[in-house]
Amino acid sequence: MSERDRAVLAMERRGWPGPGAKERAIREGLGLSPTRYYQLLGALLDDPLALEHDPVTVNRLRRIRDEKRRRR
């Protein structure tokens, strides 16, 4: 896993007071647009190395993603 991948997972572990704060942190802290960030995050959820690195975060996000898919 790259440092950027680790940073994306670390960003997801944090709690955020609202969407604006997170979007700002993504732009300023990672130098990514929110769209690109979420593309990378989506790919990480299917990466076995990401699961090995941070199983709690990856499994939580997988559950959220799967629930959203079931609702559609």
Instruction: Domain of residue 42: give its range.
Output: 3-71
Enter the pTM of the model: 0.87
Give the whole-angstrom CA distance, residue 45 versus residue 48.
8
Confidence category of residue 72, pLDDT binned at 50, 70, 90: confident
Query: For the chain, how many residues are written?
Result: 72
Give the whole-angstrom CA distance, residue 42 versus residue 36.
10
Q: What pLDDT is attached to residue 23? A: 94
Ordered DSSP codes for 20-47:
HHHHHHIIIII---HHHHHHHHHHHTT-
pLDDT in tens, 6-65: 999 999 999 888 779 999 999 999 999 999 999 999 999 999 999 999 999 999 999 999
Query: What is the number of domains present in the chain?
Result: 1
